[in-house]
Amino acid sequence: MTDIHVHLTGQSATFKAVFIVILIAVAAAAGSLVGTCGPEAVVSVALWGADLFTGDDRPYQVAVALPLTGPDSKAGQEVFEAALRYWNQNAATHRVMGISLMPYDDKDDTAIAREVAQQLVDDDKVLAVIGPFSSSTAKAVMPTYIRGNKSEGELPVIMPVPTATTTTALAGKLGGMATLRLPPNNQKQAEDGIHFCSQKLRAETYAIVRDQTNPEYSNDLGYAFKREISKAGEKVVFDIGVGGHSGRLWCDCFDRSAPIA
């Protein structure tokens, strides 16, 4: 369990503090729809040098940066639609606060995602971001969101999908104070996965195939699986990286000790 402290400054800090509580609920709803939501972090909001919210009626927005077109668009649309469903269920509150939910298509492409991140950071009307979709894209955009802009500083980010263990570690190294990941990281998934394979399936040997289109995710999870397999005193008969477009890692469990031909 990690405490992530969100320090807000500026004229609208009190407003943002109330807003972030709502944002966490929206992102949690999105994460739960795709089966990724888990209790990785607790968020505490601290207001430093904040003036009271004085009714500024600028059109604030929550940005949702996801792949809305391209190979991962189906999953990206599912996450956005989940967030939108929750948002619409609480429309009255959002109208009073003057906030809208705005989608941005980053295609889960690191170059495009960096451009989108810079666009969001430069727009003072963007209060926070839900996204991105993959661990590789998260690594690419993290420096931009944490650096933020001169007037508002770091842009708060809640990630409903990325699981690479290194993602939040990178945020910490960059001095990030407002980055939250909802799903359990790859290390936790590896521990639970190997426990299931070993205890429930009685597996003794494993084959790991990594999809290299999302190496931050696949390799991180693969290494975590391999470490846990070694700790359990079991064997990895082969461990390879392959191409593809799904960005998923497949771990096949074999209920035998002989090497695969």
In a domain, 201, yes or no: yes
Shared domain for 42 and 114, answered yes or no, is yes
147: domain CATH number?
A: 3.40.50.2300
In a domain, 259, yes or no: no
Residue 247's pLDDT band (cuts 50, 70, 90):
very low
Whether 241 has a pLDDT exceeding 60, the answer reads yes
CA distance 224 to 190: 6
What DSSP state is assigned to residue 132? -
How far is residue 78 from each of residues 29, 96, 115, 137, measured CA to CA in Å?
11, 27, 23, 18
> Domain residues for 161?
2-181
Whether 64 has a pLDDT exceeding 90, the answer reads yes
Shared domain for 154 and 201, answered yes or no, is no
CA distance 164 to 210: 14
- 120, two tokens: 């969001």
- Residue where the block lists tokens 């007037």: 151
CA distance 64 to 157: 10
In a domain, 145, yes or no: yes
Residue 78's pLDDT band (cuts 50, 70, 90):
very high
Total domains, the chain: 2
Q: What is the pLDDT of residues 214-230, one digit of tens each?
A: 777 888 888 899 999 98
Shared domain for 118 and 192, answered yes or no, is no
Q: What is the pLDDT of residues 164-181, one digit of tens each?
A: 888 877 888 888 778 888
pLDDT score at 108: 94
Domain boundary among 132, 161, 181: 181
Compute the average pLDDT of residues 238-252: 59
How far is residue 96 from each of residues 10, 86, 184, measured CA to CA in Å?
21, 16, 34
Shared domain for 36 and 162, answered yes or no, is yes
Helix, strand or coil, per DSSP, at residue 166: helix
Domain boundary among 137, 152, 181: 181
